[in-house]
Amino acid sequence: MLGAGLLPAAAPAVAATALTADAVNTARYDAAALGGLSPVVLRAQILLDRAGFSPGAIDGVVSDNLRRALVMAQRRHELDDHGELDEATFAALIETDDWPVLGDYEITRADTAGPFVPDIPSELEAMARLRRLAYTGPRERLAERFHIDARLLVLLNPGVSFDGPGTRIVVPRIARPAASAQKVARIAVEKQQRRVLAFDPDGRLVASYPASIGSGDKPTPSGLFTITKVARLPVWRYNPRFAFKEVKGGRAFNVAAGPNSPLGTVWIGLTAPSYGIHGTALPEEVGVADSHGCVRLTNWDVQALAAMVQKGATVEFIE
């Protein structure tokens, strides 16, 4: 899962401006400052996340997932929907939400209590031998809680251990200042755009999420379906008819629940048999890598969506 290992040598270059909470909270638009790890981009990502336009894992870097979120925000603000972070878009985001985007958080005993599974195997059959697929440690748990790439969490907190209760760290302030309960009646899965859109009963867009949507070998279905169930912390049942290339044996088996399971923390089942919308153990791959036919979101995005939908809501797959 994201952040389970050490900071890789290929981590994004740090921007010239110091990556402090103050620098990010007061960042002003500068087109020249959008390359590499940018306080401007980081501020925009957190503002988008709070507005319901998920950029995926917050990492401070321009990416396709950021562009997908920007397109939807630009449409909301009646701007040109080119998907680039320009001055007009940045100004619109700040105008509607000027709350600081980074703040302090004190690590609690619950954050560090576990149980953890330090080593998660990549093979499904090896996963099936584990009793749980929990977080690998406090850092991974905190990164997911605050929607942030674990490498960036480390950069924001140099020299800090995430293992000790009482330690204060800098994290994204992801909660909306005045969040209100939303209900989703319809979901649109845009295959080509690798995006999931959620609409309220009046047809208004309430959220957008980057997604991994099928593959050439395992395409998602087409057409209109309905939600049959919403299961939290689901156990995944592998059926040999799935014929996944990475599975060597020909038998069925169960994979335990947990944030590092193939289904992540939520399964939203559909009337299309064996298909659904679910979380992932690899949030950094959402919107980038393919899926096994289902619709894969980050765990925090699928949890947000699950809180707004119920059985009977429609899901349309759009080519």
Region of 258 (left: φ > 0; alpha: ψ -120 to 50; beta: rest) is: left
Domain 21-96, architecture per CATH: Orthogonal Bundle (1.10)
Whether this model's pTM surpasses 0.75: yes
The CATH H-level (homologous superfamily) assignment of domain 186-318 is L,D-transpeptidase catalytic domain-like (2.40.440.10)
Which amino acid makes up residue 245? K
d(CA 46, CA 141): 18
Q: Which of 26-35, 67-76, 245-254, 301-310 has the lowest mean pLDDT?
A: 245-254
Please state, in angstroms and rounded to a whole number, the distance separating the CA atoms of residues 308 and 305.
5
Residue 217 pLDDT level (bands cut at 50, 70, 90): low
Q: How confident is the model at residue 241 (pLDDT cuts 50, 70, 90)?
A: confident
Averaged over 190-216, what is the pLDDT?
A: 93
Residue 214 binned pLDDT confidence (cut-offs 50, 70, 90): confident
Q: How far, in Å, CA of 114 to CA of 105, rounded?
A: 19
**Annotated catalytic residue, options 77, 82, 292, 294:** 294
Give tens-digit pLDDT for 264-277. 999 999 999 989 99
The residue with tokens 């309960």 is: 181
Residue type, 295: V
Pick the more confident residue, 177 or 229: 229
**Average pLDDT of the segment spanning 24-30:** 97
pLDDT per residue as tens digits for the range 155-190:
999 999 999 999 999 999 998 655 557 899 999 999
* Interaxial angle between packed helices 299-306 and 138-145, expressed in degrees from 0 to 180 and rounded to the nearest 10: 50
> Reduced to 3 states, what is the DSSP secondary structure of residue 310?
coil
pLDDT at 16 over 50: no
Angle at the Cα of 192 from the Cα atoms of 191 and 198, rounded to 5 degrees: 50
> SS3 for 139?
helix
Q: Which amino acid belongs to residue 37? A: L
pLDDT of 8 strictly over 90: no
Please indicate whether residue 294 is annotated as part of the active site: yes
Q: Per-residue b/e over 227-248, b at no fewer than 16 CB within 10 Å?
A: beebbebbebebeeeeeeeebe
- Selecting among 77, 82, 147, 278, the annotated active-site residue is 278
Pinpoint the residues of the chain covered by CATH 1.10.101: 21-96
Least confident of 29-43, 122-136, 239-253: 239-253
285, 244, 294: which is closest to 128 by C-alpha? 244
Residue 89's pLDDT is 99
* pLDDT greater than 50 at residue 4: no
- Look at residues 207, 204, 199 and name the one whose alpha carbon lies nearest to residue 176: 207
Strand partners, 207: 198
Cα separation of 293 and 260, whole Å? 19
82 is catalytic: no
Provide CATH 2.40.440.10 ranges for the chain.
186-318
Question: What is the average pLDDT value for the chain, to the nearest integer?
Answer: 91
Q: Is 94 left (phi over 0), alpha (psi -120 to 50) or beta?
A: alpha
pLDDT at 235: 96
